[in-house]
C-alpha cells in the first residue's frame, strides 16, 4: 500500500486505481456466481496528516469495513450498519467464520469469531482484502474521500456493511496499538484473536521471564567466556509491530546483572511506524535509559528503509551490511 509515502497526490491516485480494479473484479465475480466479501487488514491510507499537520505515513487504529456483495441476480435482505468511528460490529477474527458460513462449512470449535453475515450459500466465495484501507474522516484529510471512488461509494451506500476492529487487543496487539498486516492476516485466517509477538514479549518483561530466557543467558555467557563483545540490534521505535526500544533495554539490564562489559548497540531508525523526524528525541531517551542501566554503547545507526529493505535492493542493504561488518559509514563526532 502506497499510504506509507508522504506524497499525498500519490495516495489519492492509489485510492482511485484500487477502486477501478475493485470494480472490475466485482463485476466478474458477480457474473460468475460468487458471493464476495470485502474487508481490509488494517488502516493506513485513509489518514493523510498527523494531528500536528505533518504527513502521516503510519498505520492507524481505525475501523475497517466488511462488505457483502451477493452474486448477480440475488439481493439478500440484510440491513446495513451506519458508520460510527467509535462503535464496531466485530473484529477481523469474524471474517473467516463469515466465509465458512457462506460456504456452508461448519465452523471449527477453536475458531471463536462470529459470522457477521449469513448469506445464501452459493458454494463459491471470493474474499478481497484491501491493504491498509481503513475508515477515515469524510473530509480532505482522507485520500480515499478525496479520490474518485464510485465503486467504493456504491458499496458503502447500497450493500450490507459491518465495521470491524483491526487494531489493539482486538487483533492480539497491545491496547491502543495500530494494526498491521501480520496481525490483520493472522486474525483473519485464524478466525480468532491471535496474541502477537509484542504482547507476548511485553508479558514476558512484566513477569520477569524475558530476563530469565535461557537463550539470552546462554548468549551472554558465551560472549563472556570467549572474551567477545555482544552486539544488539535495536529498532528505535515505540509503535512498530517489528520491534520496540524496550527490548534492547531489557537485554542491557540482563547484561548488567551478568557483568557483561563490552555490549555494542546498533540502531535501526524508524521513519515508518513513527513520525519522520522523531529519531533525535527517541535517541536521547534511549541514551538516558542506557545511562541509568549502566550498560551498552551505541556504535552505529542506519535507517530502517536501508537495513530492512523488502525489495531485494542489495545496493541499499549493502550500506547497512558494510556498517555492521566492516565499520564503514559516515562517522559521527
Catalytic machinery residues = 181
Task: State the alpha helices, DSSP H only, in 3-149.
Answer: 8-31, 95-103, 143-146
Q: Do 97 and 108 touch, CB atoms closer than 8 A?
A: no
* Dihedral angle, C-alpha 212, 218, 219, 225, nearest 10 °: 130
Phi, psi of 259 (to 5 degrees): 60, 40
Q: Do 42 and 166 touch, CB atoms closer than 8 A?
A: yes
Within 50-104, strands assigned E span 64-69, 90-91
Q: How far apart are CA 286 and CA 267, in angstroms?
A: 10
Q: What are the beta bridge partners of residue 55?
A: 49
Q: How far apart are CA 62 and CA 57, in angstroms?
A: 14
Q: Cell for 160?
A: 450490507
Q: Do 96 and 110 touch, CB atoms closer than 8 A?
A: no
Q: 319: closest CA among 242, 229, 309, 273?
A: 309
Q: HSE (CB half, 13 Å, CA atoms) of 306?
A: 16
Per DSSP bridges, beta strands 263-269 and 230-236 are parallel
Q: What are the beta bridge partners of residue 130?
A: 40
Within the chain, strands assigned E span 35-40, 64-69, 90-91, 125-130, 161-165, 230-236, 263-269, 297-303
Q: Do 241 and 183 touch, CB atoms closer than 8 A?
A: yes
Amino acid at each position: 500500500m502506497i499510504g506509507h509515502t508522504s506524497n499525498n497526490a500519490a495516495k489519492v491516485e492509489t485510492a482511485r486505481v484500487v477502486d477501478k480494479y475493485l470494480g472490475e473484479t466485482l463485476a466478474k465475480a458477480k457474473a460468475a456466481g460468487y458471493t464476495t466479501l470485502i474487508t481490509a487488514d488494517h488502516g493506513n491510507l485513509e489518514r493523510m496528516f498527523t494531528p500536528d499537520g505533518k504527513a502521516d505515513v503510519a498505520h492507524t487504529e481505525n475501523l475497517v469495513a466488511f462488505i457483502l456483495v451477493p452474486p448477480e441476480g440475488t439481493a439478500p435482505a440484510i440491513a446495513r450498519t451506519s458508520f460510527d468511528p467509535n462503535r464496531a460490529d466485530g473484529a477481523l477474527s469474524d471474517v473467516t467464520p463469515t466465509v465458512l458460513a457462506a460456504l456452508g462449512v461448519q465452523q471449527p470449535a477453536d475458531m471463536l469469531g462470529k459470522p457477521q453475515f449469513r448469506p445464501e450459500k452459493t458454494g463459491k466465495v471470493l474474499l478481497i482484502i484491501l491493504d491498509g484501507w481503513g475508515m477515515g474522516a469524510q473530509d480532505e484529510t482522507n485520500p480515499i474521500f478525496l479520490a474518485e471512488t464510485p465503486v467504493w461509494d456504491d458499496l458503502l451506500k447500497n450493500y450490507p456493511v459491518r465495521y470491524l476492529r483491526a487494531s489493539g487487543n482486538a487483533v492480539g496487539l497491545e491496547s491502543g496499538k495500530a494494526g498491521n498486516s501480520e496481525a490483520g492476516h493472522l486474525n483473519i485466517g485464524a478466525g480468532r484473536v491471535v496474541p502477537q509477538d509484542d504482547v507476548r514479549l511485553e508479558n514476558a518483561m512484566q513477569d520477569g521471564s524475558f530476563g530469565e530466557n535461557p537463550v539470552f543467558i546462554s548468549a551472554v555467557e558465551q560472549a563472556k567466556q570467549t572474551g567477545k563483545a555482544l552486539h544488539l540490534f535495536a529498532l528505535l521505535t515505540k509503535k512498530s509491530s517489528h520491534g520496540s526500544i524496550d527490548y534492547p533495554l531489557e537485554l542491557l539490564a540482563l547484561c548488567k546483572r551478568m557483568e557483561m562489559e563490552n555490549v555494542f548497540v546498533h540502531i535501526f531508525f524508524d521513519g515508518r511506524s513513527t513520525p519522520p523526524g522523531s529519531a533525535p528525541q527517541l535517541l536521547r531517551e534511549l541514551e538516558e535509559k542506557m545511562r541509568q542501566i549502566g550498560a551498552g554503547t551505541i556504535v552505529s545507526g542506519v535507517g530502517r528503509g536501508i537495513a530492512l529493505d523488502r525489495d531485494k535492493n542489495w545496493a541499499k542493504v549493502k550500506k547497512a551490511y558494510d556498517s555492521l561488518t566492516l565499520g564503514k559509514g559516515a562517522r559521527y563526532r
